[in-house]
Amino acid sequence: MEEDPSESERGIWKLSVDGSSCITGSGAGLVLTSPGGWTLEYALRFSFNATNNEAEWEALIVGLTIAKHLEVQKIEASSDSQLVVGLASGEYEAREDSMVKYLSHFQSLKSAFKVLRVLKIPRAENARADQLSKLATTEELEKNQTVLVDYLDRPTISEVDVMDIDLP
């Protein structure tokens, strides 16, 4: 009996991410949606400066970490960052130190999922994550009652810095 081609697509969660860096600060937004339509929205405000691409990586890594804790098996992440998608898919090579670290952190999360795809989408199709990322950098955030808010004191990659120690 042949497997239904849609069988592998069943049970796929969707993760939309967007990063924002502006004068008022850096932040990110992520929307995680279950196959049944249950949605979790996060606005992340950073206590550190991040470029747009770094903010995008933070959103992707935090979103995948949440999905991992929820024991999600299959996930399709979408971002409007050409660089992040290119690095995650192996199309691009990481050159900057921070991009190398984010890519390494991303690679270490991959094994938690049976299916993990990262797709490039046009900014227009990423409206909700974009709104959340912008919300994260405004004063309106404290007044918001429906969005989960998280504050990151330092980049996620700062925790994976391991010193090389030569033992005799």
Contacts of 133 (CB under 8 A, 6+ apart): 18, 19, 20, 27, 28, 29, 43, 55, 59
Q: Is the pLDDT of residue 11 over 50?
A: yes
What pLDDT is attached to residue 85?
Answer: 96
Helix (H) or strand (E) holding 27: strand 25-33
CATH number of 12-155: 3.30.420.10
Mean pLDDT of 3-26: 78
Give the other-Cβ count within 10 Å of 131's Cβ. Answer: 17
122 HSE (CA, 13 A, CB side): 2
- In tens, the pLDDT along 75-100 reads 999 999 999 999 999 999 999 999 99
Output the CA torsion sign for 49, 53, 56, 60.
negative
Q: For the chain, what is the mean pLDDT? A: 83
Which structure tokens are listed for 43?
A: 């606005």
